[in-house]
């Protein structure tokens, strides 16, 4: 029918099925075509061309023009975008998953014994491998091996079609859902409807739900029945950073794995391995700083390392140095921290303030400065408690921390920590962090002059055992007679005890009538105030007997004795009033207003101008 010599007698719609299958591209080819359309064709792998056999050159013709030498064609540039280290070095096998040995061992035993749960829950802080673990579990359950005959394994091959498709995020039977953007019942209803159908090409149909705590309460309730009794071909993998927000009914239906923070030493080794693969030279101290700043998160650490590599000086060969990392993170130099702590302990205020200003000028935030001093105090305390050398990278730092540990006592270190902690909170909330940091450090410095609470308690106990020192005689306007004892304070305390015992009338009489001539244990010699004729002796004797339980010798003596307590109070008030009148401003007031009166605050101030003063 056609003009083509390749045309056969059969019509085109009767071609064989094998020819149609060969004409259709595979899923991998379609995926590659989509990637190439977005990012450009990858650079093809070129094989060295065979060198042509040497041909005899014709004799040189002096009149002929020489042809220019051939110019090599420039290599085609790749258009693939740069992948950050956190994505480039995402673990592809359980062997590459660092710091989670307990979980890997549990999963390996479950796969080996064919005791796989139908739902897994991965929880932990950011960047410890929750989503990566979920993908690794999906690969482990669906791996078929390079020969296509393998079963579930803790060591997926990474070469078969399920492994490569899952790694590239395009497997049709591994569905990832972000619960932060799919929070409703309708999203969960789609899952419930889809679980009824078996997997298309994999062994298990796997649902990975990230940030599962963001699902609504109704969505959780809708998922409960399916989560409790899913079909045999379905597995659920949940990941969350806030496991406390999940309902208990969901937790009881899943097998939970708590992913731990990665230790700083393990992170440092991992970052060193990444740098070697990237061809980047990095100082060990710089990697140590990055590992501490990551706070147990691999993703955070790799992001900081990526930034540090870009921040490195090109004239130094792109070497990641500790000084550059400190400048990038706004951290204080450790030697500067040690000098600052030394100034603090020596009480050198000018040097302390100068060191703070110097660090602030270098870009160190006051909050980071306080945090660095707290960290230094913590390491000194640990070195003191352990008795061993501090675990620090340099010998200079080990010597300095050892000197601080020998110089300070445990009580001083704990007080220093408490003061720095309080200062850190003040700096965090202050409107001017620099001023707050300076005042907090000055307070810490001057707190060294204060007595230790333990020593202060022992000092108080010693003073209590020795008794108080005798009070010096105060100058008053009322002069006591020569034969009067200096025991008015003891008499006042005795009157207060009588008053406290409920004998109010006798206490008032002792306060207003009695002038003490002699007072000792069990003996009282007294005189009466002017105008008093009644003898209070019997009542005094009975009251003192009720108070002390012993018989007192009460006598009325000759002489004036000390003034009564009421007379002493009046004399003190008169002296205070006279002192006020001698004040220059008060004198000037009375000169301007001769008829003015000075009233006692306890008196009725209504005399000054009517009832309105009482309101």
Instruction: Tell me if 242 sits within 8 A of 213, measured CB to CB.
Output: yes
> Over the stretch 188-234, which tens digit does the pLDDT of each residue have?
999 999 999 999 989 999 999 999 999 999 999 999 999 999 999 99
| Residue 216, CA distances (Å) to 146, 253, 511 in order | 42, 17, 78
Q: What is the mean pLDDT of residues 134-148?
A: 92
Whether the predicted pLDDT of 30 surpasses 90: no
Q: What is the mean pLDDT of residues 26-47?
A: 51
| Residue 266, CA distances (Å) to 98, 296, 298, 423 in order | 8, 9, 10, 32
Domain 264-329 has CATH 1.10.8.60: yes
Whether the predicted pLDDT of 525 surpasses 50: yes
Query: What percentage of residues in the chain have a pLDDT greater than 70?
Result: 76
pLDDT category of residue 25 using cuts at 50, 70 and 90? low
Mapped to the 3 state alphabet, what secondary structure does 294-351 carry?
HCCCHHHHHHHHHHHHHHCCHHHCCCECHHHHHHHHCCCCHHHHHHHHHHHHHCCHHH
| Residue 445, CA distances (Å) to 348, 425, 441 in order | 8, 17, 6
Q: What are phi and psi of 174, to 5 degrees?
A: -115, 105
Handedness of CA 200, 204, 207, 208 (dihedral sign): negative
pLDDT of residue 67: 45
pLDDT category of residue 600 using cuts at 50, 70 and 90? low
pLDDT of residue 611: 43
Overall residue count recorded for the chain in this entry: 615
Question: 0.75 cut: is pTM over it?
Answer: no
Whether the predicted pLDDT of 593 surpasses 70: yes
> Over the stretch 429-487, which tens digit does the pLDDT of each residue have?
999 999 999 999 999 988 866 666 666 677 777 666 665 444 444 444 444 443 444 34
Helix or strand holding residue 516 (H, E): strand 514-520
Nearest alpha-carbon partner for 499 in 515, 512, 486, 487: 512
**538 vs 233, more confident:** 233
Burial class of residue 303 (count of CB atoms within 10 Å of its CB; 0-12, 13-18, 19+): middle
Handedness of CA 122, 125, 131, 132 (dihedral sign): negative
Chain mean pLDDT for the chain: 78
pLDDT category of residue 394 using cuts at 50, 70 and 90? low
* Range 333-453: architecture per CATH: Up-down Bundle (1.20)
pLDDT of residue 24: 52
pLDDT of residue 106: 92
Nearest alpha-carbon partner for 408 in 335, 457, 342, 334: 342
| Residue 37, CA distances (Å) to 31, 41, 75, 167 in order | 10, 7, 20, 20
Q: In this structure, which topology does domain 85-258 adopt according to CATH?
A: Rossmann fold (3.40.50)
pLDDT of residue 393: 60
DSSP strands (E only) in 190-325: 205-210, 234-240, 255-258
Parallel/antiparallel/unpaired status of strands 255-258 and 119-123: parallel
> Over the stretch 93-130, which tens digit does the pLDDT of each residue have?
998 999 899 999 999 999 999 899 999 999 999 999 99
Q: In what order do the strands lie in the sheet with 174-178?
A: 174-178, 205-210, 234-240, 119-123, 255-258
pLDDT of residue 71: 41
Helices marked H in 470-556 — which ranges? 488-500, 504-512, 537-548
Q: What are phi and psi of 208, to 5 degrees?
A: -105, 115
Domain 491-562 has CATH 3.40.50: no
Q: How far apart are the first and last CA of the chain?
A: 120
pLDDT of residue 164: 92
Whether the predicted pLDDT of 27 surpasses 70: no
Domain boundaries, the chain: 85-258, 264-329, 333-453, 491-562
How far is residue 514's CA from residue 353's CA, in Å, rounded to a whole number? 64
Instruction: Tell me if 254 sits within 8 A of 120, measured CB to CB.
Output: yes
pLDDT of residue 428: 92
Whether the predicted pLDDT of 272 surpasses 90: yes
């Amino acid at each position: 029918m056609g003009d083509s010599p390749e045309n056969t007698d059969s019509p085109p719609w009767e071609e064989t099925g094998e020819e149609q299958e060969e004409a259709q591209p595979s899923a991998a080819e379609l995926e590659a075509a989509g990637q190439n359309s977005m990012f450009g064709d990858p650079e093809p792998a070129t094989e060295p061309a065979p060198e042509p056999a040497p041909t005899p050159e014709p004799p040189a013709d002096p009149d002929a023009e020489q042809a220019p030498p051939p110019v090599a064609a420039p290599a085609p540039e790749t258009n693939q975008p740069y992948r950050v280290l956190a994505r480039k070095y995402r673990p592809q096998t359980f062997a590459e998953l660092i710091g989670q040995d307990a979980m890997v061992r549990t999963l390996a035993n479950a796969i080996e014994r064919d005791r796989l749960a139908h739902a897994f829950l991965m929880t932990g802080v950011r960047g410890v491998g929750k989503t990566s673990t979920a993908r690794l579990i999906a690969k482990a359950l669906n791996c078929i091996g390079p020969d296509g005959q393998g079963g579930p394994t803790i060591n997926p091959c990474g070469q078969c079609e399920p492994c490569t498709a899952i790694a590239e995020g395009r497997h049709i039977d591994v569905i990832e859902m972000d619960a932060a953007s799919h929070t409703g019942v309708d999203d969960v209803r789609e899952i419930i409807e889809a679980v009824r159908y078996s997997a298309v090409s994999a062994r298990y149909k796997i649902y990975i739900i990230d940030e599962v705590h963001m699902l609504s309460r109704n969505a959780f309730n809708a998922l409960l029945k399916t989560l409790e009794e899913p079909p045999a071909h379905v597995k659920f993998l949940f990941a969350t950073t806030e496991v406390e927000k999940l309902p208990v009914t969901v937790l009881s239906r899943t097998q939970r794995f708590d992913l731990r923070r990665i230790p700083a030493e393990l992170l440092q080794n991992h970052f060193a391995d990444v740098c070697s693969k990237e061809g980047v030279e990095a100082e060990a101290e710089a990697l140590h700083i990055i590992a501490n700043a990551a706070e147990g998160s691999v993703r955070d650490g790799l992001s900081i390392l990526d930034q540090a590599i870009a921040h490195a000086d090109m004239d130094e060969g792109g070497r990641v140095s500790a000084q550059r990392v400190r400048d990038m993170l706004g951290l204080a130099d450790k030697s500067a921290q040690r000098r600052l702590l030394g100034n603090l302990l020596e009480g050198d205020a000018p040097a302390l303030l100068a060191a703070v200003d110097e660090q602030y000028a270098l870009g160190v935030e006051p909050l980071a400065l306080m945090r660095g001093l707290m960290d230094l105090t913590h390491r000194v305390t640990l070195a003191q408690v352990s008795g061993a050398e501090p675990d620090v990278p340099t010998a200079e730092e080990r010597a300095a921390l050892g000197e601080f540990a020998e110089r300070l006592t445990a009580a001083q270190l704990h007080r220093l920590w408490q003061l720095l902690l309080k200062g850190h909170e003040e700096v965090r909330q202050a409107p001017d962090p620099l001023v707050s940091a300076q005042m907090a450090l000055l307070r810490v410095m001057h707190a060294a002059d204060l007595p230790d609470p333990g020593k202060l308690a022992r000092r108080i106990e010693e003073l209590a055992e020795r008794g108080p020192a005798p009070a010096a005689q105060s100058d008053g306007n009322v002069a006591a007679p020569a034969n009067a004892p200096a025991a008015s304070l003891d008499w006042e305390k005795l009157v207060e005890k009588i008053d406290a015992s409920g004998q109010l009338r006798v206490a008032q009489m002792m306060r207003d009538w009695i002038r003490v001539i002699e007072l000792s244990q069990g003996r009282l010699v007294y005189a009466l105030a002017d105008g008093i004729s009644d003898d209070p002796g019997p009542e005094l004797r009975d009251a003192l007997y009720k108070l002390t339980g012993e018989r007192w010798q009460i006598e009325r003596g000759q002489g004036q004795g000390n003034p009564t307590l009421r007379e002493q109070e009046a004399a003190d008030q008169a002296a205070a009033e006279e002192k006020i009148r001698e004040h220059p401003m008060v004198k000037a007031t009375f000169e301007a207003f001769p008829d003015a009166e000075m009233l006692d605050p306890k008196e009725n101030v209504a005399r000054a101008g009517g009832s309105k003063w009482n309101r």
